[in-house]
Amino acid sequence: MDTIDPRSDPKSGGRLLPLTATVLVIVLLWYALTVWLNGPGAIERVLAPKGPWSWQDLVLSSWTLQRPVLPAPHQIAADFWSSLVDWPIDSPRNLLFHVAVTGQSTLLGFAMGTALGAVLAVLIVHSRTLDRALLPWVVASQTIPVLAIAPIVLVILGSLGFSGVLPKAVIAMYLCFFPVAVAAVQGLRSPQRIETELMHTYAASAWQTLWLLRLPAAWPFIFPALRVGVAAGLVGAMVAELPTGAQAGLGSRLLTGSYYGNTVQIWSALLMASLLGLLLSSAMAALEKWALRHRSRT
């Protein structure tokens, strides 16, 4: 039987070509937008004092302007790379240093949020009273903007003597638990009635029904929620770093850049945050594939 080389698969080229074209269009539009936004500043600060200038001078100056309104992609890439290779990893000027700080809060908050969401889901599924009492409040909790609740939570925990990672992790937990709780409730309720009645005929306890029937049926619902939850936890951890004036973390990096008008630093921190979020979501996706494959074998 003939085998098909994946590299010659026309579907692979069909997916890669639109993606490449989209990225190219975005980069070209970005460069055009930098000329439009940075042009007035380039004329005022660079070109006008030197005398006559051409449109080529305007484009070049807009793409290399110090403290631009919108940095050009190559400026962001250069600052990003410089922060990684020009400074030791334990230096506040290295983005990996801030990744470690924010990642710690994110993972702790994600673990706490997942545990809280799972416990709430089990309680809601097994108690009609708690279903009516808790589920509306779980939904209503997400109507409060995290920017409004973060300073309140940080002040309360600070007055109780909690500082460092835990307060930021609590904010991350606040954003993590909701998607996990809602998805887990839906997943735990997904078994059909005939399946639950069969467990009753076997005289299975509520715990046995949960472990042998409801939980395996809920995994396909829970894992997508975990990918959403870990990304939301990253946002929560970064938001929690803003009102505290933290000296480390990607949120503090954004705050420092805004204080000093260093837009290149802001964008490089955003790029690193995006890569961190992608890494965490990919890790959850890999865990999902492993767990579902292991489930199918058992």
Q: What angle do CA 88, 93, 94 make, to 5 degrees?
A: 55
The pTM assigned to this predicted structure is: 0.83
Quick check: 57 and 42 in contact, CB under 8 A? no
Question: Cα-atom radius of gyration of the chain, to the nearest Å?
Answer: 25
Look at residue 26 in the predicted model and tell me its pLDDT. 93
* Three-state SS at 138: helix
The one-letter code for the residue type at 267 is W
The DSSP secondary structure of 78-123, one letter per residue, reads: HHHHHHHHSS-TTSTTSHHHHHHHHHHHHHHHHHHHHHHHHHHHHH
Look at residue 103 in the predicted model and tell me its pLDDT. 93
Closest CA to 284 of 204, 202, 229: 229
- The CATH fold assigned to 95-297 is MetI-like fold (1.10.3720)
Q: Tens place of pLDDT for every residue, the chain, 298 residues?
A: 444 454 455 555 567 888 888 889 999 999 999 999 998 988 888 888 888 888 888 899 999 988 899 999 999 999 999 999 988 988 888 999 999 999 999 999 999 999 999 999 999 988 888 888 888 888 888 888 888 888 888 888 888 888 788 888 999 999 999 999 999 999 988 888 778 777 777 777 778 877 878 888 888 899 999 999 999 999 999 988 887 656 788 988 888 888 888 899 999 999 999 999 999 999 998 988 888 777 655 5
Look at residue 165 in the predicted model and tell me its pLDDT. 86
Domain-wise residue ranges, the chain = 9-70, 95-297
Look at residue 6 in the predicted model and tell me its pLDDT. 46
